[in-house]
Structure 1
Amino acid sequence: MLADWWQYDFLRYTLFSGILIGLICPILGTFLIVRRLSMMADGLSHVTLSGVAAGMLLSKKIAFFGAVNPLFFGMLFSVVGSLFIERLRKVYKAYQDLAIPIILSAGLGLFTVLVSIADGFNTDLYSYLFGKIVTVSREDLYALIGVGAVVLGTVFFLYKELFAVSFDEEHARVSGVARKTINLWFMVLVALTIAASMRIVGVLLISAMITIPVAASLQIAGSFRQAILYATIFAEISVLSGLYFAYLLDWASGGTIVLMAVLVLMVVLASKKTGAWIRRMREENRA
């Protein structure tokens, strides 16, 4: 069984892509949750989905687009959606979270119209929705490697700026941090990550990989850096175990990965509660 992962190209692409997703999604997710923008991934995922549908429709109607991977249309739409969200956050300064449902609704509406024009769903679109191991190509892996390199490079070189903007934008502005540029670039990174990850996790489930491992890590982390570290570990466990069981049982990879992430969260919560109960019992015995 394990030998299959090295024997077939698509399984190797899936494995390496999954490892990258388990690395970059929780890193961005930690910053998103601290900034109280955990729903950002949901909003952009629907915009990305409309981009994929647009790419498929164009390839069906216009021969010129036939060789273009719908993934790149998804990336384009996702980046544009992230720019609109950032713009709407400035328009609705007192209600910044309103920007996300606006973009989410627009993306979902556009997707519905495009699907109706294209006369319904097809197998390819289903794999983008929920993820499917056999659909991951070398092109998808290369796109994810490129996005991963940019994300990791940005976090490495701009960690202090991202940290400052995430916890206190006003203080960051006074300190001379180019918060507008940082915010804009961060949104673009989230958008690219969502688009690049959808072949593995599925565009409708990618937000879970951005938030659930972070939710688990926040239960035990003592610092922001620890939160990133634990979230990454939990995400990798979820991705690797999810891919294994998805291949073994022929399940959708995205749903299986998310279920593993939820299971990890439940184990962390149960362990924390059990640990608190044991400490309480020890204190009572000493008294």
Structure 2
Amino acid sequence: MDLFQYDFMLRALAGALIIGLAAPALGIYLVQRRLSLIGDGIGHVALTGVGVGLLLQQSPVLTAVVVAVLGAVGVELVRERGRTSGDLALALLFYGGIAGGVVLVGLSDDSANANLMQYLFGSLITTTRQDLIVIAILGAAVLTAMLALRPALFAVCNDEEYARVSGLPVRTLNLVIAATTAVTVTIAMRTVGLLLVSALMVVPVAAAQQITRGFRSTMALAMGIGVTAAAAGVWAAGEIDTAPGATIVILAIAAFLAITVGSATWRVLRRHIPAERHAEHAEPPDVVLQEAGAR
């Protein structure tokens, strides 16, 4: 039976493909800045936004976007102006966000606890047409920003001081990265969940870095891996009846392991092949001695 004959599976696939493209496109900048875990921190802040939405009986997605963006911008300003290090700022995100979310969900009705699991671990098959429209619009905005601002964002992530001397609006660009990270986390919570979204940002980039050298090629391959893992994850989850978000992440990690082992094996073979060719073309020792004696 073709699973994609059902509308809810088509919506799930479309949502997963959008996140599979947008998350690695943003994640490459986070990896470049050594902020691979910021997605987890913002995810915990978004949990507070979900709690606010459930408590006020409003759309949890919209409240999560607002709270996550405010939290991400606040952490960026603290990192820039204050003495608090990036690691400490992320720790504040982790603990404060999850604590606030748990408290707010506890204050809401009992049915909110069941709904909360959908946001923590994703629930693709319950994605509505309205959810898909929001995911498509915000995902397209994130992807457009990451591609259009690629040279400037690369300069800021690679060397912030050089970018500032070059005249780039460093603060604005940093805030763009923070805000788009928050948006990506919140739209991806319907796909892979708040607790797993960071993996989809980082793992495809880590896999692509094993076999690419340039920034542009790494971004392109990471997006390809993200889309492939998303599509295969939705299909596999439907076939074997597993959680789509977790299945997508497992396939992305499997791709990383396969590429890592394959690239390491190829490097070993490349070191041995030239040596073997040189040995085949080299003169035997006895011939070399005979020529030396003849001289």
Task: Encode CA deviations 1:83-140: one digit per residue, 9 max, x unaligned.
Answer: 1111220244572332111112110110121132236663321111111232111111
Match of 1:16 among 14, 37, 58: 14
CA contact (8 A) 2:203 2:256 kept: yes
Q: Using structure 2 for the length normalisation, give the TM-score.
A: 0.89
For residue 146 of structure 1, what is the aligned residue in structure 2?
Answer: 137
For residue 74 of structure 1, what is the aligned residue in structure 2?
Answer: 64
Per-residue deviation, 1:174: 1.1
Q: Using structure 1 for the length normalisation, give the TM-score.
A: 0.92
Match of 1:230 among 203, 210, 221: 221
* Partners of 1:111 and 1:155 in 2: CA distance: 29
For residue 25 of structure 2, what is the aligned residue in structure 1?
Answer: 27
CA contact (8 A) 2:78 2:84 kept: no
Task: Encode CA deviations 1:1-39: one digit per residue, 9 max, x unaligned.
Answer: 33x31x322211111111111111001000110011111
Per-residue deviation, 1:52: 1.0
1:26-175 matched pairs, under 5 angstroms: 26-59=24-57, 65=58, 69-93=59-83, 95-118=85-108, 122-175=113-166
Give the aligned CA root-mean-square deviation in angstroms.
Answer: 1.6
* Partners of 2:187 and 2:148 in 1: CA distance: 22
Give the letter aligned to residue 108 of structure 1: I
* Partners of 1:87 and 1:94 in 2: CA distance: 10
CA contact (8 A) 1:84 1:103 kept: no
For residue 62 of structure 1, what is the aligned residue in structure 2?
Answer: none
Aligned residues: 277
Which shifted more, 76-85 or 91-100? 91-100
Residue ranges of structure 2 left out of the alignment (5+ in a row): 280-295
* Partners of 1:92 and 1:275 in 2: CA distance: 46
* Partners of 1:215 and 1:145 in 2: CA distance: 25
SS of 1:37's partner is coil
Residue ranges of structure 1 left out of the alignment (5+ in a row): 60-64
Per-residue deviation, 1:51: 0.9
* Partners of 1:124 and 1:249 in 2: CA distance: 23
* Partners of 1:143 and 1:174 in 2: CA distance: 38
For residue 274 of structure 2, what is the aligned residue in structure 1?
Answer: 283
* Partners of 2:167 and 2:63 in 1: CA distance: 36
* Partners of 1:75 and 1:209 in 2: CA distance: 18
